[in-house]
Amino acid sequence: MTEHVNDGPQGAQNTQGALQGIKVIDLSRVLGGPYCTQALADHGAQVIKLEPPGGDETRGWGPPFYGDTAWYFAGVNRNKQGIAVDLSCDEGRDILWKLLEGADVLVENFKPGTLARWGMDYERDLRERFPKLIHCAVSGFGPDGPLGGLPGYDAAIQAMTGLMSVNGERDGAATRVGLPVVDMVTGLNALAGILLALAERTKSGRGQSIDIALYDCGVSLLHPHLPNYFGSGRTPERSGNAHPNITPYDSYRTATAPIFLAVGNDRQFARLCAHLGAPELADDPRYVDNRSRCAHREPLKAALEDLLASHDCEPLAQALINAGVPCGPVQTVDVVARHPHTRHRGMVIEMGEYRGTASPIKLSRTPATYRSAPPTLGGDTREVLNALGIDTATQQRLLEAGVLKA
């Protein structure tokens, strides 16, 4: 079912998350960093997001808009307290120093060298003052090397790391993957790095710095293309929906809509052929094993589409997957959002007007919780500063000076 904040899995909203007691200062913007810190927040960490007074630029990445804020921003910023502070001035950085006094994790995606110019370099300044602090820096290319310090956005990294070169139709142009896969995997790698550092800290009592580069994450996604290149010396090419190492692993025409067959072994192939009324196809020497099938891709695809032409996609997909053949209809996003299994898995959550994608991490004792919608710009500034002991007069002076926004 769609999970409302008060009717999720039994006790979920009253459960202390796995990261309860961990305090995260989130200076990151756009997607990779915020995606990471939302995952930390979903699992119980206190996340305080600092934005410049003008806001994270993705607040304007619409339509559609959630109030005055783009849904793009809303998709990766729930469960966070939001304050707006100008870190380019000393008084703004004074607030950040106070926040770091009780922090476990600092996440930032400034251009490398920015914190150092502010007197907040990890090795030089933060490590000595906050020896238990875990610092996670997300950047385009890392701080050094031939491309070090240069800016990077997802699509440009997709182009530069070869992802676009292997995505698209065989005779078509290199194509961007239709979602920000590099940014999202970067966020997941940042999450993994932070969790590793937290685990190590329980033994050493010390924090450390984590260097996560979009470029590295893009390169890490090149499976199986890099292994294939290492083994053959041949530059991988685009193959459309077809898998470069497995067949049948492609989309196929039916009487209605395309079906994607993901047949990973000979047993599944035999089941597919039997279900389609052509068991002899599995014994054909051209198709007897995956190596043979890959050598005869085109005649096999033609033979399968001839058999599939008399079947409607939806009932066929249901019958095949129940028979043990991995497959599925090619569905649109609106269908996925309404799908009974999406609802059953609690993958859509609602909090008032907010709707979001739930955490896919299902912990049995300490599940994710959904406690607050994404913050308005500066919506928690006064509450957070009050907790830091900053008096009302000082807050008002900083607001009038443009250092803060509330």
What amino acid positions are annotated as catalytic residues? 183
3-state secondary structure of 182: helix
Distances (CA, A) of 17 to 197, 285, 394: 18, 55, 35
Contact 25, 96 (CB under 8 A): yes
What DSSP string describes 6-61? TSSSTTGGGSPPTTTT-EEEE---TTHHHHHHHHHHHTT-EEEEEE-TT--GGGGS
CA angle 157, 59, 335 (to 5 degrees): 75
Q: What is the largest CA-CA distance in the chain?
A: 84
Torsion 13-17-23-28 (CA) sign: negative
End-to-end CA distance of the chain: 36
Who contacts 401 (Cβ-Cβ below 8 Å, separation ≥6)?
Answer: 91
* DSSP H or E segment with residue 204: helix 181-204
**Residue 365 burial by Cβ neighbours in a 10 Å radius (0-12, 13-18, 19+):** exposed
